[in-house]
Structure 1
Amino acid sequence: MIKRTLFFGNPAYLSTKNEQLVISFPDDKPERTVPIEDIGMLVLENQQITITNGLLSKLTDCKVAVVSCNAQHMPEGLLLPMNGHSEQTERIRYQLDASLPLKKNLWQQTVTAKIYNQAGLLQEKGKNAQRLFHLAKNVSSGDTGNHEAQAAAHYWQHLFDIPEFNRGQGGIPPNNLLNYGYAILRAVIARALVSSGMLPQVGIWHRNKYNAYCLADDIMEPYRPYVDLIVCHIVDNTDDYTELTVDLKKELLNIPALDVQIDGQKSPLMVAASRTTSSLFECFAGISRKIIYPDYG
C-alpha cells in the first residue's frame, strides 16, 4: 500500500484517538481523522501547529517521518524512530564494520546510477546526454576521477533553459524548488534507512562531522533526478515560481508517491527507497554485492 504524505500549512491541533490522527482546527471546521498506519510522512509547516506527545509516539512507532519547517517554510527538522528494526543492533554493527574497499565499491555503484539517471532525464527532455552516458560507463572505485562533479557541471548547464543557471542552495529559482524537493527526498531516504535497521548518520562517502544524515545523502543521489523531473515540469508549466506557493509545494510533496522503475518493476518512490536500503544492508552483511537503485529509462 502506498503510504500517504500529509502537509499542514494552517494552524491545527493534532492528537490521536483509536489509532487515528485527529485533526482539530481553531475555527468551526469539523474534526478530521486519518488512520496512522496509512501515513508515511507528516510535514508540519505552520508555526501555530500543536501536536501531542501521544501522537508523536504512535507516529514513530509506525515509522512515520515527521518533518518540521522553519519560519521561512523550509523543511528543517526530522523526527525518526530510535528503534526502526528488530535486528537493529546487529545491522548497525555490519554497517560500522564495512571495509573501505566495500564502501568505495558502493559509492562507485551509487555515482554510476546517479549519472545514468541524470542522462535519462536529459535524454527525455531532448537534450544531449552522450557525455553523461560516457562518464557513467567509466566511474572508478570510489569515483577517483570525480565523474560525479563532471556530470553535474554538464547536467545543470543543460537541464533548464535558463541562462547562467547554477545549482546552489542560495541560487536563483528554481533552486528554491530543488531545495524543498531534496529536503523531502532526504526525509524519505532517512526513513527507509532507519526502517532497514541502519544509522542514517554513518555514510559510505559523505563524512562531514556536522551532517547528521551522511548515509541518507549518499543513498539519495540516484533519486535526485526524480525531484528534478517534477521541478522541470513546474518550470515548463508555471509562469512564476520565484515563491514557493502552497500549490507548488503540493506538487513537490508528490515525490514519495512518484512511480519509478526499479529492478524491472514499477514502484512508488517511497517503496523503492525501502528496496534500496534493504539491498544496501545485504551488501554490508556480505549477502550481496549490488545496491538496487531505480533506473530512469
Structure 2
Amino acid sequence: MIKKTLYFGNPVYLSTRNEQLVINFPDAQGLDNDSGKNTIPIEDIGIVITDHKQITITHSLIQKLLANNCAIVTCDNSHMPHGLLLTLNGNSVQTERYEQQINASIPLKKQLWQQTIKCKISNQSTLLSRLRGIRTDNMQHWASRVTSGDSENHEARAAAFYWANFFPINNFKRGRDEEPPNNLLNYGYAILRAIIARALVSSGLMPTLGIHHHNRYNAYCLADDVMEPYRPFVDKIVYDIVDSGLDYTQLSKEIKWQLLSIPQTDVLINDKRSPLMIAASQTTASLHNCFEGSSRKIAYPKFTES
C-alpha cells in the first residue's frame, strides 16, 4: 500500500491517540467541522511536511511517526523544505547492512554509478523527446557511452543539452538560486530526496554514505546518488505546471498540491507499473543486494508507455 503524504501549511496542533495522528485546527476548519479534529492511522503515513511557524507537534507523535518509518520534513521562512527527520532503526539487521555498505569496493561503487547515470540520461532523453519533440540521438549515444564511474562526465554533457531545450522559456538556466521555475524544481527535488532517504533507511542503508557524492557537509549523499534517475519524473510534473499557464513564480497552494503528487506518480520498474514511492523501495532493496553481493544491478525506474 502506498503511504500518504500529509502537508500542513496553516496553524495546527498535531498529536496522537490510539495509534492515530490527531489533527486539531484552532479555527475548526478541518474535515470534522464540529470539533476541528481529524484522525489518520499513523501506519498509513509516509511523509509529513510542516510549513508554518504556528504548527505544534507532540513528542509522542514524532516518536510514533519515526517508529513507523515516516519522514518528517520541515520548511523554512521561504516555504522551501529545509529539514528532514528519519528513524535511526529502519531495519532489523541494520548493523550487518551498514557493514556491507561501508565495505563496498571502489570498483563496485563505480559500476553502480555507471548504471545510475545511464538510467538518468535515458530518462531525460525519453522525456525531452516526448514533451518537446526534440531528437535525442546524442543523449542516447551519451547514455550508451557512460563508463565505470562516468569518468568522461557524460552526465554533465547530457544535462547541458537537456536543460537548454527542456522548458519553452528563453534563456532558462538550471540552478538552485536561478529564476523560476527553478523554485518548483527545488521544491520537488526536496520531496523526492525525502522519499529516497526514507526508502534507504527502510532498507537498512545509511543515506549519508554515497556511492559517488562525498560532500563532507551533506548528510544525504547516498540519497542524492539514488535519486538521480528519479529527477526527470519531477521535471515532468514541473513542465506540466509551466505548460498549464499557472503563475509559477510563486509556490502557490495549487502548485504545491501538484508537487505533492510526486510519491503517487506512476513509473515502470522491473517491467511493472508502480507508484514512485513503492519503486523507491524496490530501488533501495536492489542496492542493498548489490552491497551484499547477491546482485550487480540496481532496479531503476523508466517512464511508462503512456
What residue number does 2:153 align with?
146
Matched residue of 2:16: which SS? strand
Separation (CA, whole Å) in 1 of partners of 2:253 and 2:168: 25
1:91 aligned to 2:97?
yes
Match of 2:172 among 144, 165, 172: 165
Shift in Å, 1:169:
0.4
Matched residue of 2:210: which SS? coil
Q: For residue 3 of structure 2, what is the amino acid of its counterpart?
A: K
What residue number does 1:63 align with?
69
Matched residue of 2:239: which SS? helix
Unaligned runs of 5+ in 1: none
CA contact (8 A) 2:81 2:187 kept: yes
- Render the CA deviation track for 1:133-189: whole Å, top value 9, x for unaligned: 110011000000100000000000111011111100011111000000000000000
1:81 aligned to 2:87?
yes
Matched residue of 2:140: which SS? helix
Shift in Å, 1:28:
3.2
Write the mapping of 1:6-155 to structure 2, written as runs, cut at 5 A: 6-29=6-29, 30-125=36-131, 126-155=133-162
1:201 aligned to 2:175?
no
Q: Percent identity?
A: 59
Moved more, 144-153 or 29-38: 29-38
Separation (CA, whole Å) in 2 of partners of 1:87 and 1:38: 23
Q: For residue 182 of structure 2, what is the amino acid of its counterpart?
A: N
Separation (CA, whole Å) in 1 of partners of 2:242 and 2:202: 34
Q: For residue 117 of structure 1, what is the amino acid of its counterpart?
A: N
CA contact (8 A) 1:116 1:296 kept: no
Separation (CA, whole Å) in 2 of partners of 1:61 and 1:124: 41
Separation (CA, whole Å) in 2 of partners of 1:239 and 1:16: 37
Separation (CA, whole Å) in 2 of partners of 1:233 and 1:127: 17
CA contact (8 A) 1:117 1:296 kept: yes
Structure 1 moving runs of 4+ over 2 Å: none
Moved more, 247-256 or 236-245: 236-245
Matched residue of 1:238: which SS? coil
CA contact (8 A) 1:15 1:51 kept: yes
Matched residue of 2:118: which SS? helix
What residue number does 1:2 align with?
2
Separation (CA, whole Å) in 2 of partners of 1:187 and 1:239: 26
What residue number does 1:264 align with?
271
Matched residue of 1:21: which SS? strand
CA contact (8 A) 1:260 1:295 kept: yes
Shift in Å, 1:129:
1.5
Unaligned runs of 5+ in 2: 30-35
Q: For residue 172 of structure 1, what is the amino acid of its counterpart?
A: E
Matched residue of 2:74: which SS? strand
What residue number does 1:213 align with?
220
Q: For residue 82 of structure 1, what is the amino acid of its counterpart?
A: L
Shift in Å, 1:47:
1.0
1:274 aligned to 2:281?
yes
What residue number does 1:233 align with?
240
Shift in Å, 1:290:
0.1
Separation (CA, whole Å) in 2 of partners of 1:42 and 1:7: 6
What residue number does 2:32 align with?
none
CA contact (8 A) 2:28 2:37 kept: no
Matched residue of 1:186: which SS? helix
Shift in Å, 1:238:
2.4
Shift in Å, 1:127:
1.9
Shift in Å, 1:130:
1.4
What residue number does 2:198 align with?
191
CA contact (8 A) 2:115 2:298 kept: yes
Separation (CA, whole Å) in 1 of partners of 2:162 and 2:69: 35
The number of aligned residues is 297
